[in-house]
């Protein structure tokens, strides 16, 4: 799954340490998390929408509609030593969207109770393409959020 982590090494670690000791620590952390979540929202929505494009998953049998309902694209913002943003795509219970995405293979039942592996009509890593197209914008916006937080901590 796509993953972007900005690790400016010492600069981000120093910012995180300053946030921890700041008098208004909780409000700053909340603003940091909400800012990173906000800048990732458009790419998360586009990643989810890419599942509904006919070239990525088969439309017959309702797989595409099921995948759209069962997937969840969330931002996981971490603080501390490994501060960063990770975009996670999860299939809800009983649906291994991650496996379909990684392998480009779909295991599905056919008449008679047998299962077959289908690769036709399944595009592997379809969400990665959407993410990679928007990565520079997301990274730039993440840096902007971090700079705003750094200004607040300094001032």
pLDDT, mean of each 10-residue run, the chain (155 residues): 48 77 86 89 90 84 81 75 72 75 85 86 88 90 86 80
Q: What single string gives the DSSP state of each residue in 11-53? A: HHHHHHHHHHHSTTHHHHHHHHHHHHHHHHHHHHHHHHHHTTS
Per-residue pLDDT at 82: 64
Per-residue pLDDT at 2: 42
Per-residue pLDDT at 75: 81
| Residue-range domain boundaries for the chain | 10-93+128-154
């Amino acid at each position: 799954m796509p993953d972007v982590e900005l690790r400016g090494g010492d600069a981000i670690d120093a910012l995180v340490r300053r946030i921890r000791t700041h008098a208004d620590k909780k409000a700053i952390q909340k603003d940091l998390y909400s800012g990173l979540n906000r800048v990732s929202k458009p790419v998360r929505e586009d990643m989810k929408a890419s599942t509904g494009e006919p070239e990525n998953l088969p439309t017959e049998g309702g797989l595409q509609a099921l995948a759209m309902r069962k997937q969840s694209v969330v931002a996981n913002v971490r603080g501390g030593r490994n501060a960063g943003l990770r975009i996670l795509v999860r299939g809800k219970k009983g649906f291994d969207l991650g496996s379909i995405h990684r392998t480009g293979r779909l295991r599905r039942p056919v008449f008679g109770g047998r299962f077959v592996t289908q690769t036709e009509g399944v595009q592997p890593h379809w969400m990665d393409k959407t993410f990679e197209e928007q990565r520079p914008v997301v990274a730039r916006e993440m840096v902007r959020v971090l700079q705003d937080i750094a200004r607040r901590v300094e001032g």
